[in-house]
Amino acid sequence: MKQKTNVEISTEPPEDAPVISVGEDNSVFSSLAASLAEIRKLKGVKGYILRSNTSAILDLTEQEKISEWAILSSQISESSNEIAKQFNLADIESVLVEGKCVKVLCMSIGDNRIGIFMERAATHAWIIKRILM
């Protein structure tokens, strides 16, 4: 006799990911959270920070570096926006900063800011496409 199996696909962030939420529900934020939860499972991805004006999700392997990585991703986003203004460039879709061992992909989608941290050898092009889907 065959058993039926129910498969559930969750759009919620991982249970152990810290979530700070205040205010109204944001469907774009929820959609990005689901995409980032999938991306987080990829080899070489160390974690991500997703934040809006009212909510934030942090899912990082190195918990002791949360504040450092939050400051880093925030500074990358703010600096790239300032450079874009100074040179009269259009809105910046994504910024990639590569260090010696780690790279950070920062993106802005509406009022949502994303910082994805990965090993230097990880492929980021697919991640950008996945988020923009």
Which residues have a Cβ under 8 Å from the Cβ of 45 and sit 6 or more positions away?
39, 116, 117, 118, 119, 122, 127
- Measured CA to CA, the distance from residue 77 to residue 118 in angstroms comes to 17
* Domain boundaries defined on the chain: 27-132
Which residues, at least 6 apart from 112, have a Cβ–Cβ distance to it below 8 Å? 26, 28, 29, 32, 50, 51, 52
CA of residue 99 relative to chain centroid, distance: 18
Give the pLDDT of the chain (133 residues) as one tens digit per residue. 444 444 343 445 556 655 554 445 578 898 999 999 999 999 999 999 999 988 899 999 888 888 999 999 999 999 998 999 999 988 888 999 999 999 999 999 988 999 999 999 998 888 988 888 7
Under DSSP, is residue 73 helix (H, G, I), strand (E, B) or coil? helix
Threshold 0.85, pTM exceeds: no
Q: Where are the beta strands (DSSP E) in the chain?
A: 19-21, 45-51, 55-60, 94-98, 102-109, 112-119
27-132 CATH: 3.30.450.30
Confidence at residue 25, expressed as pLDDT on a 0 to 100 scale: 59
User: pLDDT for 87-116, tens place per residue?
Assistant: 998 888 899 999 999 999 999 998 899 999
End-to-end alpha carbon distance in the chain: 41
Residues 24 and 54 sit within 8 Å (Cβ to Cβ): yes
Q: Are 74 and 88 in contact (CB under 8 A)?
A: no
